[in-house]
Structures are given as structure tokens and as C-alpha cells.
Amino acid sequence: PPVPQGLLRLARRSGQLNLAGRGLTHVPEHVWRINVDPPEAAQQDLSFRAADRWWEQTDLTKLILASNKLQSLSEDVQLLPALTVLDVNTNILAAPLKPLSVYPFFFCVPHFHPSHNKLQSLPEELLQLPRLRSLLVQHNELSQLPEGLGQLLSLEELDVSHNQLTAIPPSLALLQNVVRLSLACNQLRELPADLSAMKSLRQLDCTKNSLETVPPKLATMASLEQLYLRKNKLRSLPEFPSCKLLKELHAGENQIEMLNAENLKQLSSLCVLELRDNKIKAVPEEISVLQRLERLDLANNDISRLPYTLGNLPQLKFLALEGNPLRTIRRDLLQKGTQELLKYLRSKIQDDGPGPSEEPPVTAMTLPSQSKVNLHAITTLKLLEYSDKQAAEIPGAVFDAVGSNPVATVNFSKNQLRELPPRLVELKDSVCDVNLGFNKISSLPSQLGLLQKLTHLDLRNNVLTALPEEMEALKRLHTINLAFNRFKVFPSVLYHLPALETILLSNNQVGSIDPVRLKGMDKLGTLDLQNNDLLQVPPELGNCENLRSLLLEGNPFRTPRAAVLAKGTAAVLEYLRSRIP
């Protein structure tokens, strides 16, 4: 399709031309010649008072050809000698520097973005571009990087994420000016220790690889400010004795079991610590040394109690604890938010009562099924627990033990349940927190809607594909965890639950969301849609200004880009609003 003349006139004034998403199989010749040929209008109006003073045009410096169907670049690209940014992402380029006659032009281009193409290797010619400062080749088919990549000494930004890399060449250590390096979503099992020589590096993203350890030498990267290690196979948190500037550490979805107190003492500048979806059993008292910490995410671990010293973190604004088997803190206190919880923890530091490390007294009754029901938990904590038994059903004796005692919390997680225990509805007058996570439940009965006092519902790690419409009766429900199920559509009944504050729907197959109906959920503050099948994020989602935490990483959409997502929820919402037509 032809390029509108109005767009070309604007490009002559601004020096920027955006032709993204126009279905171009080739770039029209008059685009390449925009700074060479006079515009058509010049033949009709030769007045020196004309509004369109084409003879005062600005040389084109930025050309965006993203999201088209280009297979190659024309030799005419050399007619744009002032070009500094050439964005050809999301095309079907297999060799961007072919024909070789275009190579001398690229010799002076500092920003080259051939991401979302079909590159299987980086051309050798690319390695001889001395002025190249930004090279974005994410979402291609690269299986290896050339050893000569270290020759690009002016490079400041390198993104090779979403490829098929199994190793990183040690020559990357020569890139002393690189500030941002993304190795995310590849097949890396280890990182070369030589990366520690990248003295200017401030952001390193190694998300979604197969890393089991991090080289100790990486701890010497004194300029590092942001480190992403999510979705790997780490069993412990790396040590960072020299990373005095490290502000953000993201290590969620690994296999970390313990937090080393000595490691925490080295992270004095840390503002964000994200450790959700690990196997952490305890938080050390030394967590209080992180005096600059603003965000701490410990959701979905195995933490049963919190150190009271956590209350001494003066800057902490967000603390995520959902999905942990906490026993020493009342559920209603957790519902009041971060500041109330911290206030409570501070008050307990001077308390003479039992500390968080002491076990509460246990009185158990052995039932005929050889299971143990903690009567003390039922009568004192209002807790009915039958978890981690690998049971196909909950024995009737477990419910019999409740008697006339009101039960507020039910934990039947980590079993082999294939359906909702039918007798659960017997607790409808008192139960407000139900955990059925880590089972094999494929569907839920309409009777779930009878639990009208329910405020927390944990159904993660099952095989659910839908929710019953009768759940609309759960008007008090404000937290629901549906992560790691098989939802292909956003459950429509959730739009009808006005009290919902937190929806955790990560690691499903959801393909779309309704931003208008989400905006109607006035109390929704946390929406986790990571690792789904969202092909696009509707700009109208930016109008959901009540969202404090919007998590979208790991979806196949192209915008917003990872750099925008990394800036946090407020920046993402602002970006989306700016895209509303």
C-alpha cells in the first residue's frame, strides 16, 4: 500500500517516519528517496510563503519498519545517510545485511533492531560496525552467538532474549560499555564467569533459562542495579558481596529453600526482593538489615511464621505473603494490608509471649483412618487441616472432629483430590479461608457458592478449566489463586465479585481479558496474568488505575515491551493509556 503524503510531510519536518504494521512486503522507493526528491506538492506550489516549506526539510534520522512482511532491505537504504535508528523488528528477515552492498550504510548506524524475525545467525558483517550502540535481536532463531561479538566496543544495549542459545561466548566480557544485557528465555545452563568484567552493566536479565548456579565472580559486578533470575533452577540465593548498588533482585519461581542471613547483609541498597513461588521455609531475623527495602514478595512458599524484626523495615510498602501456611498470624490481620501487619510485628518485639520460633502446643487425636486431626488447632485457631497426605478423599472422621466448633480456615492442599469435598458445605456458616491447592480437581460444583463468608480461596496447581457461575454469590471473596491450572479464558464470574482485591491467574492459557469489566472492579489491586497466551494487551487496561500490581511477563504479546514492563505497574498503565485511540 502507498504511504500517505501527509505522513511523508510530517516526516520531512520531524526527521522520523513510522511505517509499522502496514503489511509492507517491500519499502516503497519514494520512502528511501524522501530526502532526495522534492514532494509532489512542490510542482503545484512554488511560493516561498507556502505552509509546506519542503526545501527546509529535516533529514530522516529514525525509520520504523516494524511488524511488516519484509524479507530483505533494499540497497536504497543508503540514500538515508543521517539515519541513526532503523527498527525492522517483527518481519521475516533472514539476512538483514544482504545484499552486501547495503553493508557500508550500516557502518554508521548506532541503533539496529532486527528483533522478531527469522535470523538463525548474526552476519559477520554486523561485527564490524564500530558505532553500533544498540543491538536488539530478541525473538529470532539464534542457536549461538559469534565469538567476535566482543568487537562491538561501542555497544551499550544487547538483547538476545527469546532465542535458542545454549551458551554465551566469553568475548562478551570485552563489551565494557554495555549497560543492559538480556539473556532471558533461552536454554542456558550456566553463565560464563567472565561476564563479571562488564564493568558498566546495570541490568542483567537471565529469566527463564536452566541455571542451577550463578558464578561467584558475578558478585564483583559493582555497577549492577537490577538482576533477574526468575524461572530457573536455583536452589539457593547467590552471594553478592560487591554489588553495593544492587536495587532489584528477582529470583521467583526457582527451587530456593533457604535464605542465608549472611547473604542478606550484603544487599544494603536493595529496594525490591522478589522470591515468590520457591520452597522457602523460614525468613531469618536478619531480614531487618534491608533498611531500604520497599517491596518484598514471598508469596507461594512454605513459610509458617514471620520474624518480628520484619516490622523494623521503615521503607517497606508492599509485602506479599499469600500462599504460605502461616500459623502464628491471624488471617484477618493479613487482610488489613502491609502497614497494619508491620505495626503488629513491631508490637510483638517487646511482647513477653512466645516468639515466632516456638511451636504452639499440639494436642492430637488419632482417628481410625490413622490420620491426625489437631484438636487444639480446631478449638483455638479455628483451623481444620488435612494437608500433604496424598489422599484421594477427605475421611469423614476429619469433619466429625469439628463437632460444633466454628472453623474459619480449611487446608486440604497437597493431596490427590479430584473434586471438592462434599462435606465442606457443612462449614458454610464460619469458613472464610479454603486452601485446595496442589490437587487434581478438574471442576467445581455449584455448592461452592454456598460458602458465602469466604474471603480467601486457593485453587492453584489443579486442572481447572472453568468456574461455576454460582460463585457469583461469594460477595466477600477478595483473594483467589488460580495459578497453574488450565484456564483458556478469563473466568467471567470473577467480573461479578465486587470485593475481589487479588486475582492470581498466572501459568494458564488465558488468551484475552475484558478491560472495561476489569475497570468496574473498584477494589482490584493485584492482577497476575504472567505466563499465559495473551497476544495483545488492550490499551483500555490502562484505565484500571486502582491496580497496584499488574504482572504480565511471559506472554507472547509484542507491546508493551519488556523494558516498559520492567518499570513497574504505574509505568505500564501510563503506557497503555497513551495507546488508547
Taking only the tens place, the pLDDT of each residue in 181-221 is 999 999 999 998 888 899 999 999 999 999 999 888 887 88
User: Helix-strand-coil percent breakdown of the chain, rounded to 5?
Assistant: 25, 10, 65
pTM (predicted TM-score): 0.54
| Assigned C-alpha cell, 527 | 492482577
Q: Region 342-346: what's the mean pLDDT?
A: 88
Higher pLDDT, 472 or 388: 472
Residue 238 has pLDDT above 90, yes or no: no
381 and 337 part of one domain: no
415 and 342 part of one domain: no
CATH at residue 511: 3.80.10.10
In the structure, what pLDDT confidence band is assigned to residue 469 with cuts at 50, 70 and 90? very high
pLDDT digits (tens, 9 = 90+) for 510-534: 999 999 999 999 999 999 999 999 9
Tally DSSP H helices, then E strands, for the chain: 11, 23
* Residue 190 resides in a domain: no
249 and 311 part of one domain: yes
329 and 408 part of one domain: no
* Residue 485 resides in a domain: yes
Residue 158 has pLDDT above 90, yes or no: yes
In the structure, what pLDDT confidence band is assigned to residue 4 with cuts at 50, 70 and 90? confident
Q: Supply φ then ψ for residue 480, to 5 degrees.
A: -135, 130
Range of the domain at 467: 375-578
In the structure, what pLDDT confidence band is assigned to residue 96 with cuts at 50, 70 and 90? low
* Residue 236 resides in a domain: yes
In the structure, what pLDDT confidence band is assigned to residue 58 with cuts at 50, 70 and 90? confident
* Residue 65 resides in a domain: no
In the structure, what pLDDT confidence band is assigned to residue 265 with cuts at 50, 70 and 90? confident
* Residue 267 resides in a domain: yes
Residue 7 has pLDDT above 90, yes or no: no
Contacts of 304 (CB under 8 A, 6+ apart): 281, 282, 324, 325, 326, 327, 328
In the structure, what pLDDT confidence band is assigned to residue 366 with cuts at 50, 70 and 90? very low
Residue 561 has pLDDT above 50, yes or no: yes
In the structure, what pLDDT confidence band is assigned to residue 379 with cuts at 50, 70 and 90? confident
394 and 529 part of one domain: yes
CB 250 within 8 A of CB 231: no
Instruction: Say how many domains are in the chain.
Output: 2
In the structure, what pLDDT confidence band is assigned to residue 65 with cuts at 50, 70 and 90? confident
pLDDT of 361 reads: 37
Find residue 490's DSSP bridge partners: none
End-to-end CA distance of the chain: 22
Q: Supply φ then ψ for residue 296, to 5 degrees.
A: -130, 115
346 and 386 part of one domain: no
Q: Region 136-161: what's the mean pLDDT?
A: 90
pLDDT of 430 reads: 92
463 and 408 part of one domain: yes
Give the other-Cβ count within 10 Å of 567's Cβ: 12
pLDDT of 372 reads: 56
341 and 392 part of one domain: no
pLDDT of 563 reads: 86
* Residue 67 resides in a domain: no
Domain closes at, from 295, 317, 350: 350
* Residue 70 resides in a domain: no
pLDDT of 552 reads: 93
What value does the mean pLDDT of the chain take? Answer: 84
Q: Region 566-571: what's the mean pLDDT?
A: 89
* Residue 366 resides in a domain: no
| DSSP conformational letter for 502 | E
399 and 332 part of one domain: no
pLDDT of 97 reads: 52
Residue 374 has pLDDT above 80, yes or no: no
pLDDT of 83 reads: 78
The pLDDT > 90 percentage for the chain reads: 45
pLDDT of 102 reads: 45
Handedness of CA 566, 571, 574, 575 (dihedral sign): negative
Q: Region 94-102: what's the mean pLDDT?
A: 53
Nearest residue to 264 via CA among 199, 309, 203, 302? 309
The pLDDT > 70 percentage for the chain reads: 89
CB 236 within 8 A of CB 211: no
Domain closes at, from 316, 350, 384: 350
Contacts of 165 (CB under 8 A, 6+ apart): 142, 143, 144, 145, 183, 186, 187, 188
383 and 435 part of one domain: yes
215 and 315 part of one domain: yes
Higher pLDDT, 164 or 351: 164
Distance of CA 287 to the CA centre of its chain: 24
238-242, 341-345, 382-386: least confident range: 238-242
pLDDT of 256 reads: 93
440 and 379 part of one domain: yes
Residue 354 has pLDDT above 60, yes or no: no
